[in-house]
Structure 1
Amino acid sequence: MMRSLTGLFLVVLLAGSELVNAQQVYQVGVASESLEPGEESFSVPLSGYAAPWAGRFAFTWLPKGLRGSNSAISRSIPKAGKGSVQTAVVDKVTYKLDSKGNISGGKSKPSIPALPGITSFVVKSNYMYAAAGSDTLYRLHLANPERGWMRAAYSNGQIPRVVPKQIFVSQGKLYALTESDSVFEAAVIHGKEPEQLFARALALKSEQSLVLLMCLDLCGFDGSFINGIKKDIAKKHRLPEEAILINASHTHFAPGTQKWLTWAPHNRYPDEAYMNKVVRPAMLKAADRALASSAPSYVKVGRGITAIGRNRSNGELATPYDNAVDVLTAERTDGSEKTVMVLSGCHPVAGTTGVKHFTVSSNYPGFMRNALEEAGKIKTTALFMQGCAGDINPVDEPEITGAKLAADALKVIDSNMKPLSGPISFHMDSVLAETRPWSKDKLVEFREANRRLGAQMEPERNVAWADLMLSHLEQNTMPKSMPVYIQTINIGEWKLIGLSREVVTEYGLAIKKLWPDKLVSVAGYCNDVSSYLPVERHIKTRVYEGEGSCFWYGLPSLFPLDILDRVVNRISTKNY
């Protein structure tokens, strides 16, 4: 009898061991690349906030003593050419500034526009920077001089007031020389170490399929740019574009990376040098390294709750807040490394006092990542994926919000994780919302009414919007629809749905209800951040998410009242 019981015990023990070891092993790789702006540009406008209308530049002047105190810097101060106030040779092209303030040279057509009061200029990365006798630094895009001179920096009350007599470049850095012979060095204002900007990629592979999730510390991006990135990754790695999901954290403290054609001129186009020398290479390299570093891993998913945000819209109504915090972990089977991805919906917008408003920062997602990595018992890489944050603002400053979210994620990791097993699949779909453009007469009347209001932020925005719409009418380029892109990633029992645009709370709540017995995560800000995606209450009450933001994003019209039903019904019908 004892032998029989012993044998039975061994059978049960071995069976239990097989069940433990039956958890599926995925191939998982992760990589991180910096998105911090460097010396590729002398000044970059920050994104997210249109105010102050004069510009948010992560720029300051650092005092470097008097002219003669540094011989290397002194030797870099350019001398005037014959008959010129200043000459500069850049990439074998000679530019000349004459005594009348005219700049000639290069291949710009039309010619470089005049800048009243100009005293000095330099050229960097296809941009010309100029001083004009005030504390404002100007910039001109040489490939598109018709856009005109734009503000690149000014004394905003947070940085030293410097009036350059001359600007020059030494060892790749921009310097200003004042009338008192004081020298100042231009510098980007960076946040603390946890606030650094990153592109982080997570590759997950089953026996049959591979997906790549990429999380960026950027405010947003145009779909055309993301499509180009996806094509490059897909071609190199033979990976379907539909298997690549790219999410923006929506930090309001990163350089602008998309077109905002109704904003102040300095915000309308992303910095070409930052996009081509930092963002694009970082994204491609992160994808390469994540795919190359794949190793056998156990993948788990779980959900907890958090209280980092509040619904900011329709204050007089009962508005929803999705308190879910979703966590995905991937731990190598040898126990050497761990990856943690956290998804929650909340705008990274707090921290705007003083110089912080002009500082490059990943905001609370960076503090959250740092806390999770420091808490890891083994080497840990943390990622943040933005959820349906369109109408959700934080209740605390970034450091506190990041710490709270990290603590909530750790609770999930410690007590509420479910192992994933099963195939990986992916799908792309879209819903096309028709536009209802204004008539030409209405646009002209609207433009004139706002023009009469003078130099104010919203009237100037409205004039720019009307000009954009009139241009569409004249050129027959008015968009017929506003697409909402829907991407679905299935990993075993976990479903991730990524929506384009700034998605508000109700979308996440409604989509999750379609699969009540399944863990479904919903991310906004995926693949294309070209407007808000509101619901009926925003549109009917004409609050910012439903109306005002449409002018900022340059939409032809508001979304239809039933846009939520259209998106949810499409997802329900397709059941990807």
Structure 2
Amino acid sequence: MRSIINNIGILLMVVLFAGACSSGYEVGTSSVSLEPTDETVSVTLGGYASPWEGRFSLTWDCLGENKLLSVTACKDSVVILDREKRLYYGDKKQLLPAREIGKAPSIKQIAFCDGYLYGVTMNNRLVRTLLESGIAVWEDVRFVPQVKGITSSNGNLYAVDLQDHLYKGVLNGTVIEWNDIGFAPEIVEIASDNKRLYVLTKDTILYQRSLDKADERWQRIGYKNNETFTIDVAHLNCLDGHLYVVSDDGFLYSNKHSSVGDIKAKAMSIRKDGKTVVIVGVDVCGLNKSLTDDIKAEIRRKRGVDENAILINASHTHYAPVTQSWATWQKPNQYPDSLYLLNVVYKGIVQAIEESLDNMEPSSLYFGRDTCSIGRNRSLTGEDVIYDNVVDVIVSVADKDKKKTVLFMAGCHPVFPDPEVGRYTLNANYPGYTKELLEQDGDIRNSIFLQAFAGDVNPVDPFRTTARKLAGAVATIMKADLKPIKGAVSYSFDTIIPPVVAPWTKEQILQFRERSLKIENDIAAERDVNWANIQLASLEENGKLPEMPVYYQTLNVGDWKLVALSREVTTEYGLAIRAIWPEQKVSVVAYSNDVSSYLATPPHIRAKDYEGYESFFWYAQPTCFSKETFPFIINKIKENNY
């Protein structure tokens, strides 16, 4: 009898388990912040080449009035030089004087290193004293040129002379070996946080560079833009990874990032019958393939997921930190901040993927589609005007608690600010705010946005208005008659080398460069000189200009097909790809795995508009795609028919 009961119990468990997993899918989801951390004091906002001065996240917290002139870390305390030229041991957290240790009537900046307190005098001499001596005697330090700024970092000294040479001083007992490691801008003061050097210039612009690499270039990180940076900086200090500045009117400030706080990487992993695909939506303007390849390779090594099964999509917000190279732009935009890119973005995307794999649970999947007109074609006119207002939604419902994850796709540039959020403040723009609105529903565990074919589409409203429209459309789709997704999981990844316009010859590039050099105070001319230099260097190194691949990825989850292209793809591509499989659930997204130029259709190419011509200079591409590119790519996709 007991064996019969046991068998019945086992049978019931099998039946219940089979019912709970009726779709056969396991779905996991995750959300990881990509907000810049304290290891960077400022990052460049990507997406715009204007203003020429740059857009930076640096803003300030006011700590109140303070007489601080210069401060340096000293073991577990700090040494403070105030404006009355008195020296104190101070409180490390509040930067307030605690115990007076002497006077320094001729000193304007201090730095502590290896038991000595170093100072720069008003007449630009470098001096030092042993702190244990009670600041009794200041002695000259052998430093051939006169010095105007001093700081210490990682047991070394860094000094700038009157000719703006930067020196690294390596201590060997009481002897200092000075090495010239490049130039500095026309500085007022210099500071360091053991990772980087920072300078305040005569025109009150802040720059940073790495510590030790000879001739490392300085990168602008902030200036008075009268929106997020409104103070006149007089003195610069660095302590425990934070900048502390004193304004002209005697107030002390510490740095922080101006951010809404919604920049994230979100992932959805789907598994059936041992096959897994991963979809990642990232709130950045774009990513280079070298980075996405490295991320995918790490996931394969650690988790065994095929690189070709991982899709990484950039939302293309123009208000996230720079995360890809913009080699023809102004210097602050040309390369991502390495600390932010590797320690936040790279690690954050890897973490998001791993957490989504760890969170997998039996779930059912559903597909829905409707329209929502949040944008307009920004370039085409007349009969060429085209706008795809389709919104696709994938809903995952967990079998256990019925919590939902919603993946939604729409095509529209996240380029417009909102009256409440200025152009210098980090934010995920309308994709981020849409996700926030959706997640106010307690039944929605997570929401993930993928950017569709938005290359030639701009919004018609400020981003929060756009988000409210899109969130409303997604919510309506979720309440409508969603179609179940059923079937196997598969994936593919291809590289397409499409036809291009014949690249310019070396002579044509040189002539173009010479014409551009004659134009002064013009962003486009500056870009064109940079573009020409890049192409000439490529010809010199390789003997030819590089190819321009387009990456095509397909994820099949049952009868839902997700087709992704790299680059900034214009509208007509999406309509043409969906038309290949008119009877299927087909979603299309761009900005995936690599964003290295526009991918325009013939109307843009004929018009030589921004998408079809000028943008290729901004992207440092060797040439433009031709009118044959569009049919070539569509035919390749048809032929492969994944």
TM-score over 0.5 for the pair: yes
Counterpart residue number, 1:467:
533
Counterpart residue number, 1:13:
none
Deviation, 1:65, is 2.3
Distance 1:354 1:112 in 2: 44
Deviation, 1:442, is 1.2
Counterpart residue number, 2:342:
276
User: Does the Cα contact within 8 Å between 2:368 and 2:483 map onto a contact in 1?
Assistant: yes
Counterpart residue number, 2:496:
431
Deviation, 1:25, is 2.9
Counterpart residue number, 2:484:
419
Counterpart residue number, 1:14:
none
Partner SS for 2:450: strand
Indicate whether 1:348 and 2:414 are aligned.
yes
Choose which of 269, 273, 297 in structure 1 pairs with 2:363.
Answer: 297
Which range is displaced more, 127-136 or 543-552? Answer: 127-136
Indicate whether 1:53 and 2:52 are aligned.
yes
**Structure 1 residues 298-353: Cα deviation after superposition (integer angstroms, max 9, x where no partner):** 11111111111111112344311111100001111023421000011111111166
Amino acid at match of 1:388: F
Counterpart residue number, 2:621:
555
User: Does the Cα contact within 8 Å between 2:228 and 2:424 map onto a contact in 1?
Assistant: no
Distance 2:17 2:197 in 1: 67
Indicate whether 1:214 and 2:280 are aligned.
yes
Query: What is the TM-score of this pair, normalised by structure 1?
Result: 0.91
Counterpart residue number, 1:152:
221
Structure 1 segment 385-400 matched on structure 2, within 5 A: 385-400=450-465
**Structure 1 residues 84-106: Cα deviation after superposition (integer angstroms, max 9, x where no partner):** 54433323333223455432117
Amino acid at match of 1:326: D
Partner SS for 1:374: coil
Amino acid at match of 2:582: P
Counterpart residue number, 2:310:
244
Partner SS for 2:35: coil
Aligned-CA RMSD value: 2.5
Distance 1:257 1:26 in 2: 34
Question: CA 1:478/1:264 → structure 2, altered by over 3 Å: closer, same or farther?
Answer: farther
Question: CA 1:170/1:400 → structure 2, altered by over 3 Å: closer, same or farther?
Answer: same
User: Does the Cα contact within 8 Å between 1:203 and 1:290 map onto a contact in 2?
Assistant: yes
Deviation, 1:456, is 1.1
Amino acid at match of 1:182: F
Counterpart residue number, 2:34:
35
Counterpart residue number, 2:299:
233
Larger proportion of strand: 2
Partner SS for 2:551: strand
Indicate whether 1:120 and 2:189 are aligned.
yes
Amino acid at match of 2:151: A
Counterpart residue number, 2:553:
487
Distance 2:543 2:324 in 1: 19
- Structure 2: gaps spanning 5 or more residues: 1-15, 69-89, 99-108, 112-117, 120-126, 128-140, 142-146, 171-177
Distance 1:178 1:89 in 2: 23
Counterpart residue number, 2:155:
92
- Structure 1: gaps spanning 5 or more residues: 1-16
Counterpart residue number, 2:165:
102
Deviation, 1:58, is 1.7
Deviation, 1:462, is 0.7
Counterpart residue number, 1:443:
509
Amino acid at match of 1:73: L
Partner SS for 1:458: helix
Amino acid at match of 1:284: V
User: Does the Cα contact within 8 Å between 2:57 and 2:426 map onto a contact in 1?
Assistant: yes
Larger proportion of helix: 1
Distance 1:494 1:160 in 2: 48
Question: CA 1:551/1:110 → structure 2, altered by over 3 Å: closer, same or farther?
Answer: farther
Distance 2:191 2:585 in 1: 55
Distance 2:509 2:413 in 1: 32
Deviation, 1:375, is 2.6
Deviation, 1:112, is 3.5
Distance 1:183 1:19 in 2: 65
Indicate whether 1:24 and 2:23 are aligned.
yes
Distance 1:343 1:106 in 2: 55
Distance 2:608 2:56 in 1: 31
Counterpart residue number, 1:319:
385
Work out the number of aligned pairs and report it: 555
Distance 1:255 1:478 in 2: 33
**Structure 1 residues 508-561: Cα deviation after superposition (integer angstroms, max 9, x where no partner):** 100000011001001000000001110111111100001110000000001021
Distance 2:20 2:370 in 1: 26
User: Does the Cα contact within 8 Å between 1:129 and 1:138 map onto a contact in 2?
Assistant: yes
**Structure 1 residues 399-431: Cα deviation after superposition (integer angstroms, max 9, x where no partner):** 111111111111111113111111000000121
Partner SS for 1:342: strand
Question: CA 1:22/1:440 → structure 2, altered by over 3 Å: closer, same or farther?
Answer: closer
Amino acid at match of 1:119: V
Indicate whether 1:362 and 2:428 are aligned.
yes
**Structure 1 residues 266-289: Cα deviation after superposition (integer angstroms, max 9, x where no partner):** 110000010122111111111111
Partner SS for 2:151: strand
Distance 1:172 1:447 in 2: 42
Indicate whether 1:134 and 2:225 are aligned.
no
User: Does the Cα contact within 8 Å between 2:283 and 2:314 map onto a contact in 1?
Assistant: yes
Counterpart residue number, 1:530:
596
Choose which of 86, 89, 95 in structure 2 pairs with 1:73.
Answer: 95
Partner SS for 2:268: strand
Question: CA 1:306/1:161 → structure 2, altered by over 3 Å: closer, same or farther?
Answer: closer
Deviation, 1:450, is 1.2
Deviation, 1:387, is 0.5
Counterpart residue number, 2:136:
none
Counterpart residue number, 1:44:
43
Amino acid at match of 2:484: P
Deviation, 1:438, is 1.3
Deviation, 1:295, is 0.4
Deviation, 1:379, is 4.4
Distance 2:222 2:535 in 1: 30
Which range is displaced more, 148-157 or 174-183? Answer: 174-183
Question: CA 1:141/1:155 → structure 2, altered by over 3 Å: closer, same or farther?
Answer: same
Which range is displaced more, 518-527 or 17-26? Answer: 17-26
Distance 1:530 1:429 in 2: 16
Question: CA 1:184/1:238 → structure 2, altered by over 3 Å: closer, same or farther?
Answer: same
Amino acid at match of 1:104: Y
Amino acid at match of 1:25: G
Distance 2:395 2:248 in 1: 59
